[in-house]
Each structure stands twice: as structure tokens, then as C-alpha cells.
Structure 1
């Protein structure tokens, strides 16, 4: 199974986390566990038995089991949350932990676009650059910049103070748009950031967890296993869609 990712051009950096592809040329499917990564995805795919289609995948708040079918090609965009309002103009709360089939011809993408990953990235980047709204709320941009820069370790109170936006208003925005609270989202993002240290064998808290017990509890909550087992990643079964563990 081949995995590859490409970073977005500068003009999309506030909205797109990465482009990624999975290609399984084998006839055999592969079972995986998809871990929460604080992003949402639009996935374009086709298999030997299923025609080309596009799927919107919402935020995940817990690990879920999945299957990469045999003879499948998937090209996708992993989005940052700011894209929901200023690029797609949708609310993700309805698809929390769910997927939704998108209309045929979405963004003028078709089966031939799965033949060249770099070409796919260029084409869909041009489409998105034409769609970005210009009147972005600076409080929201600053809020997400702080969450990402701090790897989700800042408290809701600290984030609220820094962007001069009340905690009540922020949480209303998060719940209406994304279907979860700001704190819940920060915990997911902190988990994602912890994966690199776990992969390196550092099985202790580094990102503002209260203690070792809290660290283990949070890792198990979002992966289903304790840090030691996650670090082993036997058979490569744990995967972040936007960044393979």
C-alpha cells in the first residue's frame, strides 16, 4: 500500500493541512484504525468494483475501524477548520464522526484526475484559490493559529483572552459549526501532536498533560490503546489520514 502527502501552496495554508493519497494495488484489502487528527477530509476514490466518487469525511472524535479496499486509489484534501466557513460554506456538526457522499462532478473532478497525484493537487488547488472568501474574521484566524501553534495545549481561558472573544461565544461557534466544544477540539489536536513523540518511543507526557495517568487516559481515549501499544503499531494498522503514524 502506497501513501504520499503534499503540502499546500502558500495561499491555501490557512485552509488546507495537506493533500494525501493512498493506493492499494493489491487485490487484498487492508484493515486499519483511523485516528482523530483534528481535520476533515474530502476524498476522491475509485476501485475495481466501485466507480469514481467524492466523499466528505467529518471530524472524528474517537478511533474507528476501516478497510482500504483492494485495487483502490484515493486522492484527498485534509482541511483545517477555517475552510468550513470560508471555502466550503457548510456546517460540519451534522457529519461529526460520519461521512457523506458528495454530488457527481463535485469541483469538476472526474476519474481521470486519479491518474496523476501532482496534477490532482494543482487542479484542485486552483479551484480552491478561486473560491476562498476574502472577508475572514481575524479573531477566528488568530484563534486557529494559536491552537495549531500550541498543539492544542492552551486552555480555553487563555485562547479567549488572547483573541478577545468570550468563551461563551467561542463555544457556541464551535458547537454550531463543528459539533463539539473548543476544549474537546484542543484535546484532539494535542493527541495528534503527541503521536510523533510516541512514535519516537517517548511514552511520557510532553504537551501539558496533568500527569502520566492523564496522558495514558487521553491516548487510550483517542486511539483505543495505551501509548506503549500505539508505539508498536503492529502491522501498520493505526493511521492518520493526513499523516501516517
Structure 2
């Protein structure tokens, strides 16, 4: 897999460009983390809404390359006037974004041979499309608070810190992220646990609380319920191979 950071103009909205190559049919699992991705093969293009459970993407083209544009949580509305709550737990065609310049983008991407040229093409399109018209400063502040706490701040405390009502802040999250504050915080908490498990834990009993690095889970039954809710119970013990790169500090 290849991963590349975007140009400076996109550094706060696009997390990375990614390319995966496979020589046989495979499944590419993505752990829920609140990010969104535009995913391209040589014959199709897809938009992945915010997922509450692990998303398994089938890679079915023999000796194929798959290219993706990976957006930070809450960044999609800087480019596309869409309601992310309508795309939760769903994969759409790019027509959902209603931006003519992005139609049949997979054809233009695969006209380019190198990963770098594909990135340059997408950066030009995204830079032209990016807008601050829908930017909400306190959303970024709320996300920062959630990340810093590892997903362990209550909705009420977050709303109080940014100076608005819990109901209003939840509406903003549904619109811009496609998940409630509680659901998004649970994603962050789980990824924080997986990251701590990789850094400090052992893999002999998975899942298990890694001592003091419990990431806000009360006990093992609480952790197991969270695993099942996000569909993670079948993950390999070597969680670093499957966890979201967005939260992985490797």
C-alpha cells in the first residue's frame, strides 16, 4: 500500500491519498474512524459514507490498482454540499456528490500511470472545488476536544466548552460527519484503545484491557460490547495490520 500526504492547500481537509495493489481477489477492511473516502478502481468510483461498523471493501480486479482520496472527519462539506447523515453506513457512486467535474474521474485517474500524477490530478480538482462557505470553527474545536480526550468527554461537556446547546451540536455533527457526537466519540475511543493495544499490549488474549491503558472502557464486558457494535470481533490479534491509519501512530 502507498500513502501520501496532500499539498499544503489541502493539508487540513485531505488526510492522505492512498493506493492499494493486489495480485488476487482480496478484502480490504477499514475500521470505523469518522473519515470518508473516495475510492476508485479502473472501472468504477465510489464514495464511502461514515461507517459505524467495519467496512470490508472487495478488491476483485486481478492484478489491479485501487486509488483513494481520504478525507478528515468533517471535511467533506468543504468540497461537496451534501448531508453526511444521508450517507451513513452506505457506499454510493460519485453521482451522490452532485459535482459534474468529478463524474467519470476514475477514467482520468487511470489515464495517469504513476501514483504521483494521479495525486496531482486530484489535487488540482480539489483545490478548485474547496470552499470555506460551510466552515464552522467550533466543529473543528469540538473535534480537537474529542481527540485530546480519547473520546471520553460527554456531549454536555463538549457543548458547554464550545458554547452551544447539545442538540444543536449534535445536528452539526450529523450534517458534517454523518454520526452523532456519542457515536463519533465511541469510534475515537475504540481506535485509541487499538492504538494503545498495539503500543503497550500483548496479543495473546484479544480483546483485553491493557492495564492502565483502558481508553475509557470500564471493564472487559464493556470493551467486548463495543467491539461487537463496530463489528470488530473478527479482527486478527495483530490489530496494527487492520486499524485505521488515521489514528495509528506507527
Question: Is the pair's TM-score, using the shorter chain for normalization, greater than 0.5?
Answer: yes
Distance 1:242 1:19, change over 3 A: farther
User: Does residue 213 of the first structure (1) align with residue 209 of the second (2)?
Assistant: no
Aligned residues: 232
- Work out the CA distance in 1 between the residues paired with 2:36 and 2:167: 24
TM-score, normalized by length of structure 2? Answer: 0.79
- Work out the CA distance in 2 between the residues paired with 1:42 and 1:139: 26
Secondary structure of 2:58's aligned partner: strand
Pick aligned residue for 2:78 from 78, 86, 91: 86
Secondary structure of 1:18's aligned partner: strand
- Work out the CA distance in 1 between the residues paired with 2:159 and 2:217: 20
- Work out the CA distance in 1 between the residues paired with 2:147 and 2:78: 18
State the 1:17 CA deviation: 1.9
Distance 1:165 1:107, change over 3 A: farther
- Cα deviation digits, residues 138-165 of structure 1 (max 9, x gap): 1122122323343323221221122112
- Cα deviation digits, residues 107-141 of structure 1 (max 9, x gap): 78314355211222233223222322234221122
State the 1:60 CA deviation: 0.8
Pick aligned residue for 1:63 from 39, 49, 54: 54
Secondary structure of 1:146's aligned partner: helix
Q: How does 1:1-245 map to 2 (within 5 A)?
A: 3-24=1-22, 26=23, 28-46=24-42, 51=43, 53-69=44-60, 70-103=62-95, 106=102, 109=105, 110-113=108-111, 115-135=113-133, 136-200=135-199, 202=201, 203-204=208-209, 205-225=213-233, 230-232=236-238, 238=242, 240=244
The gaps in structure 2 that reach 5 residues or longer are 202-207
- Cα deviation digits, residues 201-228 of structure 1 (max 9, x gap): 62425322223332232233324317xx
TM-score, normalized by length of structure 1? Answer: 0.80
- Work out the CA distance in 1 between the residues paired with 2:112 and 2:152: 38
- Work out the CA distance in 1 between the residues paired with 2:148 and 2:119: 25
Secondary structure of 1:154's aligned partner: coil
- Work out the CA distance in 2 between the residues paired with 1:185 and 1:209: 15
8 A contact 2:31–2:53 mirrored in 1: yes
State the 1:179 CA deviation: 4.2
8 A contact 2:38–2:69 mirrored in 1: yes
